[in-house]
Amino acid sequence: MQKKENEHIAPFCSSDKMRHLIKADTSLLMVLNRFGICLGFGEKTVKEVCTEQHIDTDTFLCVANYICGRSFDFSRLSLKSLISYLKQAHSYFLDYKFPILKRDLLEAVDCSGADELSFLILKFYDEYVTEVQRHMEYENEVVFTYVESLISGVLSNDYSIADFARKHNHIESKLKELKDIIVRYYNKKNNNLLYSFLFDVIICAQDLDSHCSVEDSIFVPAVENLENDIRERGDYIQECEEDTTDAGDDKTDILSQREKEIIICIAKGLSNKEISDVLNISINTVTTHRRNISSKLQIHSIAGITIYAIANGLVKMSEIEVS
């Protein structure tokens, strides 16, 4: 949901005291957390806190003002800092919030196996989390990697932020649907655990919506500006991609040798940068291959690719690094 700017409220600025921002809108506590800003800043200003904690002030103010519905300026933000913020948000949801919600849901519904509706609710939740994980892994592995290359002056031939923007969807809708299903159909005895879970789901859905809006309204336009600036300057490196297409268009075609090599590297736990170094190809070429692999196999997670690699004899279990 696009946030509307409140023209009657002045935007936060670097000379404002940080505690005054939190007093104005407590939702900014999450913003502080995702920028890695420690509390206990007393009477220090936004500029002082950000400088001491090595956070880009313009990026923080841009996000904070947007979250609070105030006018914001993304022309001076640091994309590196914004990507770090977005990655931290992904980690918060996947590694912290969703596991806690799952624990609370297990405590709130009948898990004896006798109640079919409880089983379906749990299944719905697990499938939703898998979908969000796939969504965020794509952003981490493909979108952010593309932008990091762009920052270095490398312009891709076959990808732009517009490709991401066209497919980007708000991932909170199914969480709201889960809440509605429980409210409408789960007519077991009322209990504090269930009501507490539903309240947390509502807050989480709002948080996810806000996160996606930051990507749509700040991240995408900022990257578009960078793409345009690089093209206008004409001092970029035009990446010469190796041919990543196969003879046929059928997604069931056999994987190319290069794609198999990419899969092996993924299964062994290598990052895009490490794959790039091992195979002596660019990071953008790696991401292109990964998109093609996901499209052909209809597998979008690292775990799924690893299972595929083992099942098809591309790697041995002993070669997989288990963390």
Indicate if 62 and 89 belong to the same structural domain.
no
298 inside domain = yes
Tens digit of pLDDT for each residue in 153-197? Answer: 888 777 889 989 988 887 888 888 889 888 888 887 768 899 999
Indicate if 168 and 180 belong to the same structural domain.
yes
Q: What pLDDT sits at residue 79?
A: 97
Indicate if 147 and 223 belong to the same structural domain.
yes
Tens digit of pLDDT for each residue in 246-297? Answer: 444 443 347 888 999 999 999 888 988 899 999 999 888 898 888 888 888 8
Q: What pLDDT sits at residue 141?
A: 87
Indicate if 2 and 72 belong to the same structural domain.
yes
Question: Of the residues 47, 77, 107, which one is the last residue of a structural domain?
Answer: 77
Q: What pLDDT sits at residue 17?
A: 97
- Work out whether strand 154-155 and strand 237-238 pair parallel, antiparallel, or are unpaired: parallel
Indicate if 8 and 100 belong to the same structural domain.
no
Listed range (46-55, 71-80, 181-190) with the worst mean pLDDT: 181-190
Indicate if 283 and 229 belong to the same structural domain.
no
Distance CA 33, CA 55 (A): 12
- Cα angle value 279/283/285 (rounded, 5°): 75
Domain hosting 232: range is 79-237
247 inside domain = no
Q: What pLDDT sits at residue 247?
A: 43
270 inside domain = yes
Q: What pLDDT sits at residue 284?
A: 82
Question: Of the residues 18, 46, 77, which one is the last residue of a structural domain?
Answer: 77
Question: Of the residues 77, 97, 126, which one is the last residue of a structural domain?
Answer: 77
Most confident of 71-85, 225-239, 250-264: 71-85
Indicate if 63 and 93 belong to the same structural domain.
no
Global model pTM greater than 0.85: no
20 inside domain = yes
Q: What pLDDT sits at residue 126?
A: 92
DSSP string, 196-243: HHHHHHHHHHHHHHHHHHHIIIIIHHHHHHHHHHHHHHT-SEE--PPP
Q: What pLDDT sits at residue 251?
A: 37
Indicate if 70 and 119 belong to the same structural domain.
no
How many domains are contained in the chain? 3
Nearest to 105 by CA among 172, 184, 186: 186
Place of tokens 């991609």: 241
- Copy the structure tokens of residue 23: 């007093």
| pLDDT, the chain, mean | 87
* CATH number (domain holding residue 265): 1.10.10.10
pLDDT confidence of 99, banded at 50, 70, 90? very high
Indicate if 160 and 39 belong to the same structural domain.
no
Q: What pLDDT sits at residue 38?
A: 96
Indicate if 53 and 154 belong to the same structural domain.
no
Indicate if 86 and 220 belong to the same structural domain.
yes
Q: Indicate the helix (H) or strand (E) that contains 147.
A: helix 144-151
pLDDT confidence of 113, banded at 50, 70, 90? confident
Please give the share of the chain, as a percent, with pLDDT higher than 70: 90
